[in-house]
Chains A and B, each alone.
Chain A
Amino acid sequence: MITITHILGNARDHAISQALNHIEHDGRLETIVLDQQDTQRHRLRVNTDLGNEVAIALSRNEHLENGSVLLLESNRAIVVRLTLSQWLVFETRDIAAALELGYFAGNMHWKVRFDGVRLQVAVIGDPTGYLERLDHLIAEQKVIHVE
């Protein structure tokens, strides 16, 4: 198991990017796939896509992100890749329903973002649970599940 306690940089960084290209060409670029939530952790045990175990133990002021480079050797590298976050998209029938949906989402401590008249809710885990929670508003057609 490799233990990582420091992020070396990001795959977007020019110098690192060039080195990664060479390593990728030789098939020795390993990736760790994380969801958005796991990037908030400072300690986690994960596997690379080649099955190698990695223990990540970062100081509290370092944060994982898409492209974080954890290992960079002449013939081997390990890079973090983020899975795309899933968002449920909702519209509301009127302003009163919008207030109700906003209150409900806040009360559930859901992570949301605004897209014009639409409210997007970040999904952690199974999306079914979110729709079940909103069932009473959807059934009354106060809230419309768009996508």
Chain B
Amino acid sequence: MSGQLGHSGAARVGIGGPVGSGKTRLLEQIIPRFIQRGTNIAVITNDLVTHEDAIRVRRSGLIAPERVLAVETGACPHSAIREDPTLNIQAADLLEERFGPLDLILIESGGDNLASSFSLDLVDFWLFVIDVAGGDDIPRKRGLGVMQCDLLVINKTDLAPYVGVDLARMEQEARQVRNGRAMLMTNCATGNGVDQIVDLIAREVLFED
């Protein structure tokens, strides 16, 4: 007797990080890659008082607009992905009901700072995106997101020379505070490094090799 039945629901993956770090751009890079792999996906975006990110993803033409739901948190965005993720759980359930069986639901949470994190009741795996232009001291600040996420993404690597950031040192310090946990460098404007993120998600929660 083994615990093997049918489809158990879509994998749910969180994408968090500070405002302007490139979360939505990362989404726009990830979506076509998963679609090309044949992954059946849907997306949830979280915004404070608008549907800005959802509208942007719907208009991108990368995914059927009805597969993108917006959660308007109204106040502290941390609460909607951590303390009380009910709104996001309901949105994910709704997407599974409408488009299931889905393989993957990507849940982006905008407007968060370094202290945000995802409840594992909501997601199975979560990324935290920071960017070079935000300052090379971000890893040293040991924010909850940087420390606890399953994958730390350092984005906008191309901007390092323009903002006086020592990229090698930033990477080294990030690896140090992460203590061996996963970390990747990206330039989401060009897609550099995004394939590795997709491969890691596919391996860890879609169980592809």
Contact = CB atoms under 8 A, between A and B. Distances in A.
B144 A109 contact: yes
A2 B207 contact: no
A8 B207 contact: no
B179 A126 contact: yes
B124 A71 contact: no
Contacts of A55: 207
B98 interface: no
A72 B179 contact: no
Interface string A94-113: 00000000000000110000
| Chain B interface size, under 10 / 10 to 19 / 20 to 34 / 35 or more | 20 to 34
A44 B123 CA distance: 11
B5 interface: yes
Interface in B111-125: 115, 117, 119-121, 124-125
| Chain A interface size, under 10 / 10 to 19 / 20 to 34 / 35 or more | 20 to 34
A128 B204 CA distance: 28
A4 B2 contact: yes
Contacts of A118: none
A41 interface: yes
Contacts of A1: 207
Interface stretch (B6-14, B165-173, B186-194): B6-14
